[in-house]
Amino acid sequence: MDDGLSPTLNRPRWQALLADAITRPADLLAALGIDAAHPALAAEHLHDFPIRVPRSFVARMRPGDPNDPLFLQIWPRPAEADEVPGYGVDAVGDMAKLKGGGLIHKYRGRALVIATGACAVNCRYCFRRHFPYGDAMAARGQWRETLAELDADHSIEEVILSGGDPLALSDDKLAVFADALDTRPWIRRLRLHTRVPVVLPERVDGALLRWLTASRLQKIIVLHANHGNEIDDSVIAACVALRSTGAQLLNQAVLLRGVNDTTDAQAELSERLLAAGVLPYYLHVLDRVAGAAHFDVSELTAQTIMRELAARLPGYLVPRLVREIAGEPAKTQLPW
């Protein structure tokens, strides 16, 4: 297991829940009451990208329904084995941009830090599912290399903790980094890219809220929820707590075939996010990562959904439809 997750005598409750996540296909099917023979499984991918899903997220899936939109996001299907032209292991050109300390500096004024390779959930469409995390984990060595990179380039005013999922790290590790950023006057903003408050809301505990509140930096937390059913009362409570630290909450979603590729699903997602005090930020079309082609939604469908969404909801509930194109100076907004 990775940084911060090793069992200790008095570890936080969330770490025990994370360790208790379902990692065996048979356990997941049993928990949902799905006939083991029914949905086919891509067993060949379980070694390099195993199943991983916290039990509280499983509890939000519809029992007995192999087409449940949350289940589809984490269940390895045989189509993962398909080799599809145009789909590769480094879909967005991250590896060419990777510096020491896990820093990826693609865009002006902000840089992304691969804090850890660990996640609370393994999403089958993940664009970093093939990422060589072993070489790039910032939290190793007390963030020394990452801080050295930031000290060498004062144009970086916003540090984005990503991964993997930064909230898979312990609060001790995260607080050390936040403290170090606080002492660097040219750094203004700390951003977290995290799916953990959605899939394991118990992670949002007193220790997390304490170091977030203590930081002088402006805080932006970009969550990742793809479907309204992911946002239950426990997630809403976690978001309310996160906002109490002064953080601005946004969401990025991925447009996924069979999961959220209808106007109704997107409208419901936006409404549920707002109920949690979260505004939709980006709706990504799928990054072309090997093993995920079966999730792709055509740009034509995406544009139709966007037009219908804009006709239905207030502007602040309409996300920006974007594609990440390697080499571009920002995410590319797709016209609709």
Residues that bind ligand PLP (CB under 6 A): 104, 106-107, 110, 112, 160, 330-331
Closest CA to 180 of 140, 155, 151: 151
Between 33 and 327, name the residue whose CB sits nearer to ligand PLP.
327
Residue 76 or 163 with smaller CB distance to ligand SF4: 163
- Residues 133, 122 contacting (CB under 8 angstroms): no
Alpha-helical (H) ranges within the chain are 13-19, 25-32, 55-58, 71-74, 94-97, 144-151, 171-182, 196-199, 206-214, 233-243, 263-275, 299-312
Supply the minimum distance, in Å, between the C-beta of residue 155 and ligand PLP. Answer: 13
Q: Could you give the 3-state DSSP secondary structure of residue 248?
A: strand
Compute the least distance from the CB of residue 118 to ligand SF4, in Å. Answer: 8
Nearer to ligand PLP, 229 or 252 (CB): 252
Residue (127 or 177) nearer to ligand SF4, CB: 127
In the bound state with ligand PLP, the residue whose beta carbon lies nearer, of 104 and 174, is 104
Q: Is 283 in the site for ligand SF4 (CB under 6 A)?
A: no
Residue 93 tokens, joined: 């050109």
Q: How far is the CB of 130 from ligand PLP (least distance, A)?
A: 16
Please choose, from the candidates 57, 73, 102, 51, the residue with its C-alpha nearest in 3D space to the C-alpha of residue 203. Answer: 57
Of 115 and 178, CB closest to ligand SF4: 115
- How far, in Å, are 32, 85, 223, 255 from residue 194 at the CA level? 26, 30, 5, 17
Given the rule CB under 6 A, which of 161-169, 201-209, 228-236, 294-302 is the region that contacts ligand SF4?
Answer: 161-169
259 binds, among ligand PLP, ligand SF4, none (CB under 5 to 8 A by kind): none
Comparing CB distances to ligand SF4, the nearer of 122 and 170 is 122
Query: Could you give phi then psi for residue 104, rounded to 5 degrees?
Result: -120, 110
Which pair of structure tokens corresponds to residue 275? 């109920």
φ/ψ (deg, to 5) at 315? -55, -35
Give the one entry of ligand SF4, ligand PLP, none that residue 165 binds, where binding means its C-beta sits below a cut-off of 5 to 8 angstroms depending on kind. Answer: ligand SF4
Among 21, 123, 204, 239, binds ligand SF4 (CB under 6 A): 123
Distance CA 73, CA 126 (A): 10
Q: How far is CA 169 from CA 4, 22, 130, 271, in A?
A: 5, 19, 20, 30
Residue 126 interacting with ligand SF4 (CB under 6 A)? yes
In the 8-state DSSP scheme, what is residue 183?
A: T
Q: Which two tokens stand for residue 222?
A: 């970009």
Q: Which amino acid is at 252?
A: Q
Comparison of 98 and 231: residue with beta carbon closer to ligand PLP: 98
Residue 297 as a binder of ligand SF4 (CB under 6 A): the answer is no
- d(Cα 206, Cα 217) in Å, to the nearest integer? 19
Compute the least distance from the CB of residue 68 to ligand SF4, in Å.
17
For ligand SF4, which residue of 61, 104, 121, 273 counts as binding (CB under 6 A)?
Answer: 121
Pairing of strands 279-284, 320-323: parallel
Token digits for 247? 């953080």
- Pick the piece of the chain touching ligand SF4 (CB under 6 A) from 55-63, 115-123, 273-281, 322-330: 115-123
Q: CB 151 → ligand SF4: shortest distance, Å?
A: 27
Applying CB under 6 A, among 105, 173, 191, 195 the residue interacting with ligand SF4 is: 195
Q: How near is the Cβ of 101 to ligand PLP at its closest, in Å?
A: 14
